[in-house]
Amino acid sequence: MKRRSGYPVPEARILVVEDDVSIRSGLRVTMELEGFAVEEACDGVETMRKLPVFLPDLILLDLMLPGKSGFDICREIRAQKPELLILMLTARSDEASKVAGLTLGADDYVTKPFSLAELIARIRNLLRRKAMRTPPHVEVVEWDGRIRVDFKQFRCWVNGQAVELSTREFEILRDFASHPGEVVRREDLLERVWGYSPDNLPSTRTVDNFLMRLRQKLEEDPASPRLLTSVRGAGYRLDASPAVP
């Protein structure tokens, strides 16, 4: 744990959302030993109650919960706090559940049973990525005078009208803005935006789903995209040079 003026300062604040009390308390002990400040919640109601009070940097969110599922809670959190990191804990190992969680806005997932060492490594990886976000030269960009994106405030306008984007969608756009005119492979996005290692990549269909949603929100004709175009057999390309205001 870091120290400031002689007092211990937590590395980050983590909210553990898990209905199994033994798992929840075990995670709390482990993460506190690692230097994190930890708070607990057993369901969706308690999660949303503690969110504005504890102000976590990251949420460990179990998928199978009483009442609202982890999917429902993830959707609700994303609507209120798009910048908050969400790492899903799930007993489901099928690909559909993982893709669904990532599509709803989860930043990563760990399948039970999991290694505590791997979990801590994934938490630190997400926190490190968040700390590296928003380089100054791509804080605000415009494309063709029609689309304006403020990466610092997580806001987007199309033809002057506000458009809601998820945190993941902002990160994808920022990656394209950093590589204008270049072909960006799906695998590149999974590594740079999702934080996966090259030898542990999930299905690239996750990327395709996000690009389809971005086109629906940004393109004048999503069926014939002019901004985010496909390059057969390679990936995607941003076909407009972003103009930094």
Bridge-partner residues for 8, per DSSP? 3
Summarize pLDDT for 111-140 with one digit per residue, the tens: 888 889 989 998 998 888 777 654 445 578
d(CA 150, CA 29): 39
| CA dist., res. 60 & res. 123, Å (int) | 9
Q: For 46-82, write each residue's pLDDT tens digit.
A: 999 998 888 898 999 998 888 888 888 988 888 778 7
Where do the domains of the chain lie, and which CATH numbers do they carry? 2-131 (3.40.50.2300), 136-238 (1.10.10.10)
Tens digits of residue pLDDT in 143-170: 878 999 988 888 999 999 999 998 889 8
Position 6 pLDDT exceeds 70:
no
In the predicted model, is pLDDT for residue 1 greater than 60?
Answer: no
β-strands 58-62, 13-17 pairing: parallel
Q: Which tens digit of pLDDT belongs to each residue from 7-57?
A: 344 578 899 999 999 999 999 999 999 999 999 999 999 999 998 888 898
Long-range CB pairs of 135-141 (<8 Å, 24+ gap) are 135/178, 137/244, 138/174, 138/177, 138/178, 138/242, 138/244, 140/244, 140/245, 141/177, 141/242, 141/243, 141/244, 141/245
Cα torsion angle, 201, 204, 209, 213, sign: positive
pTM value is 0.55
Which residues have CB under 8 Å from 115's CB, separation 6+? none
